[in-house]
Amino acid sequence: MRWITRSLFWLGVAALAVLFVGRGAAFLRESEERTEILPSEGRLVETSEGSIFVWEEGPEDAPMLLFAHGTAAWSGLWAPTLKQMGAEGWRAVAFDMPPFGFSDHADDGNYTRTRQAERLRALVTALGTKPILVAHSVGAAPGVEAVMQDLSAFTALIVVDGALGLGSHDSGKTLPFPLGVKVARDAATALTMTNPMLTRTLLKGLIHVKEAASDEVVAVLTQPLVRAGTTSAYSDWLPSLLVPPQDARSTRPESYAALTLPVVYIWGEEDTVTPVDQGYALKEITPGSELIVLPELGHIPQIEDQDAFLLALEMALGLIADHPAQ
């Protein structure tokens, strides 16, 4: 028994060493202040909830498409879509949902779904418009929540492979014990989410078209990872990903029945992260909504096949234009 105890002890020591080496590497890597690395393509918008970074394309006075990204992404991942939709006459705007990209990190570390929705609504107010919201993956959670908080602030809603956790408030799921300790969560985050050496591997796990994890896309995703405080901020956000919210409207089916604005769902048929069955379920409970399914594409269709995604987006906009409420 003594050798087992010793083995477990040294295994624990080794695991801690790996974690803290990873955290140390992140500290050294995250050496740049935001002002030094802010992308020239965008700007910071001052809101009542802090500064939000936005990337804008197209005529300033045109109707706005407002794009929300998914986990560990930022507005730069939407750039090809923004440029195309801007060229077609839309005001195409993507924003960095805190703590990702170049927006303010929350001073209190609060990234619950309802707080994120409040940040989005503050951005919409600051932009002074009533956009069509296009929200992808985890970004769809605060996006839909914001729409449900204030229907009058948005013209329409397009959800792309949304990670909405329908009914998850009844799951009883809690944060795994080790991740409840901030220092351990920081170390785990440094080894995974904010580790640029793993970005391609993690991305491939999300998509069906593996070659879409190109050098160009990986370079975009890793661009903000040198920003000071990134790992700590991502670590603060992580519980909101792992633990279903109890106070959010967007996990509850009855909230979708109350949506009166045009809603279109776009889903990759081969999505293994948020399977397309979720899209069908959402369409079923959202009155007057439409579902566009993209064959041979997975969880991030806008990078897996840009042309196919753009066709789906334009189809969705056509359906919105034809909606009886418009």
Least confident of 8-12, 62-66, 75-79, 227-231: 8-12
Question: What range does the domain containing 213 cover?
Answer: 44-166+196-227+244-321
What integer pLDDT is reported at residue 23 of this predicted model? 58
| Angle between helices 182-191 and 2-29 in degrees, nearest 10 | 70
How confident is residue 28, by pLDDT bands cut at 50, 70 and 90?
A: confident
Is residue 176 in some structural domain?
no
pLDDT of residue 25: 65
| Banded pLDDT at 173 (limits 50, 70, 90) | confident
In a domain, 15, yes or no: no
Which pLDDT score, from 0 to 100, does residue 315 have?
Answer: 98
In a domain, 263, yes or no: yes
For residue 113, give the CATH number of its domain.
Answer: 3.40.50.1820
Cα pseudo-dihedral 101, 103, 104, 106, rounded to 10: -70
Are 324 and 260 within 8 A, CB to CB? no
Which secondary-structure segment (H or E) carries 84?
A: helix 79-87
pLDDT score of 36 more than 70: yes
d(CA 223, CA 218): 9
- Taking residues 284-293, report their average pLDDT: 97
CA separation for the pair 98, 74 (Å, rounded): 9
Q: pLDDT digit string (tens) for 92-147?
A: 999 999 999 999 999 999 999 999 999 999 999 999 999 999 999 999 999 999 99
Average pLDDT, integer, range 219-227: 97
**Residue 7 confidence class, pLDDT cut points 50, 70, 90:** very low
How far from the centroid of its chain's Cα atoms is residue 104's Cα? 15
pTM of the model: 0.92
User: Residue 294: pLDDT above 70?
Assistant: yes
Residue 310 lies in a domain: yes
Tell me what pLDDT residue 323 has. Answer: 78
Is residue 10 situated within a structural domain? Answer: no
Q: What is the pLDDT of residue 19?
A: 56
Q: Does 313 have pLDDT greater than 70?
A: yes
Structural domains in the chain (count): 1
Position 176 confidence tier, pLDDT thresholds 50, 70, 90: confident
For residue 175, being part of any structural domain is answered with no
pLDDT of 283 > 80? The answer is yes
Task: Note whether residue 124 is domain-resident.
Answer: yes
Q: Is 201 exposed, middle or buried (0-12, 13-18, 19+ CB in 10 A)?
A: exposed
189 domain residue, yes or no? no
